[in-house]
Structure formats: C-alpha cells, structure tokens
Amino acid sequence: MAEDLNNDLCWPSPAKLNLFLHINGQNDQGYHLLQSLFQIVNYGDSLAFDICAENTIEMAIPLAGVPDKDNLIIRAAKILQQATGTTLGCKITLNKVLPMGGGIGGGSSNAATTLVALNHLWGTGLSTQKLAELGLQLGADVPIFVHGKTAFAEGVGEIITPTELPINYYLIVYPNCHVSTAEVFSANNLPRKTAKISWADYNFDNTHNDCQKLVCDRYPKVAKILRHLLEYAPSRMTGTGACLFAVFDNLDNAEKVKTTLPDDCYAFIAKGANTSPLHEYLHDVMSR
C-alpha cells in the first residue's frame, strides 16, 4: 500500500519520475548538463520533526548504513541552520518506504522536505527560491522537490520551468538491485551529446533516457523488467535507475499489469501530481 502522504503527523516526501533524461554535455566543473521532465507522484516517504531549544540535530533512529555526514536529511537541516543562524534544533523521524538507489529521488526528496518543513517549524522565513539554492548544494534534484511542481528542468537542475501534465497512473518497479549514480555518470560510454530540445516540442515518444542502455547492459534484472513492461505500455527507466515505470491512463490497467510482475521485485502504483503533496500539506498547515 502507498504511504499516506496526507497524514497529519508527518510531512510528505514524495517520489519523482524522470519521464525522460537527455545529457547535453558537461560544464567547466565537470557536472553533467541535462534536460529532463520531472513528474512528482503521490507516493513516498514521510518525516516528522520534534523541535527542541538546543541546536542539536539528530535522527530518532539512525539511517542504516548511512553516517550522519552523508545523510542528506541531517545535512539539509544543518545547512538551513547555518544559513539562518537559528538556535533551534530537532530530532527527525523518517518513515522510509522508497527504495534507496532506485532513481526516484528518495534522498533528494527527504532533503527538500527537511528544508521546507524546518523553514516553517523554525520560523526562519526563507523564500522558496532561497531554499532551492540551499538544496542545490545537496544535489541536483533537490530544487525540484523544494519548488514542488512537476517541471521541465535544464542545466544541472537549477533551470526549472513548472508545467502541468495530464494525470496518469504509473506502475513503478524496483528490480531489487542498487545502481550507483556516480558509477553511471562516470562511465566512459555514457552518451553526453544529445541535442537540446524545446519544451514546446516535447512528447514521450520523441525522448529517451540516455542512461538506460548503459544500465540495462550492466544490470540484467533491469533489462528483463523493462522488456516485460514494454509488452503492456510505454515504459522507461527513471533517472540513473534501477527503477522502471510504465504509463497508464487508468488505474485498472496498471493494477492488472502489476499482477504479472515477478515476485522478486518491489512494485507500486502512483498517481501523477502537478503540485507536490509536500506543498499541499504546507498550505494546509499554514491555513490552520
């Protein structure tokens, strides 16, 4: 079952899909220049924040295998703390349902939710744009989640054009293998010269994911699930993988295809959201 992102006790941290991912080159610092369409969905993790007067920041339960110095949640809270000079702290509880290393933005979304939630709970009053600038220090996908809109993104993720898409259902499948983003982007045979497209010219069929072939060649489980999904619906890998998605215009068809998947993968169905559940929640909280 999907995590309830409207729970009054928690702040939503939704997943995203890269409906396409084109790599257009690299900048002088070596960062990849991308074009992508980020579709936020109504499924994801959630976080709760216990605010304290001391300026300590800690997880209620440490994230297994992730030291605090690498934990994007802790890092986001500390960046906001340092940027605003607040003397407040917090204890953070993460309810994790999104697979790590899946390419659906779990860690980036967690960081963005931390920035947005603590900016409200600490009363630090930064603008969304300033929060996005702080988020970019943590990862290229963080600003998308901070802005909270399905969006066309360019550059290293900082050039964002909010947009609206028809509401579809997405069958999202994690093949139970971890794909390293660093490994993908450092591969010599990764395509890096895809011509830029205009957002006005976008449609699903004239785009692709530049990382998909490389990942499928290296991870047979990813390739196998993708072939299976393509028998039923338009399908693609999201981000650098390992998650794959198939697009449906109705829930029933998505549920039928879900029953055909192998038992050794994790799958869920999510609905596209033009406005992030995080921002809907923030609006509700501020309206009380």
Residues 273, 277, 279, 283: is their CA dihedral positive or negative?
A: positive
Residues 63, 67, 68, 72: is their CA dihedral positive or negative?
A: negative
Q: Which of 16, 45, 149, 210 is catalytic?
A: 16
Residue 24, pLDDT score:
97
Residue 140, pLDDT score:
85
Residue 101, pLDDT score:
78
Q: Which domains does the chain have, with CATH numbers?
A: 11-164 (3.30.230.10), 169-273 (3.30.70.890)
Residues 22, 23, 25, 27: is their CA dihedral positive or negative?
A: positive
Active site residue 210: no
Question: Distance between CA 197 and CA 14 in Å, rounded?
Answer: 27
Residue 26, pLDDT score:
94
Q: Which of 91, 130, 141, 213 is catalytic?
A: 141
Residue 65, pLDDT score:
86
Residue 9, pLDDT score:
66
Question: Distance between CA 78 and CA 34 in Å, rounded?
Answer: 28
Tens digits of per-residue pLDDT, 3-40?
444 334 699 999 999 999 999 999 998 889 999 999 99
Active site residue 16: yes
Q: DSSP alpha helices (H): ranges in the chain?
A: 72-84, 106-121, 128-136, 142-147, 181-186, 212-218, 220-230, 251-258, 277-287
| pLDDT < 50 positions in the chain | 1-8
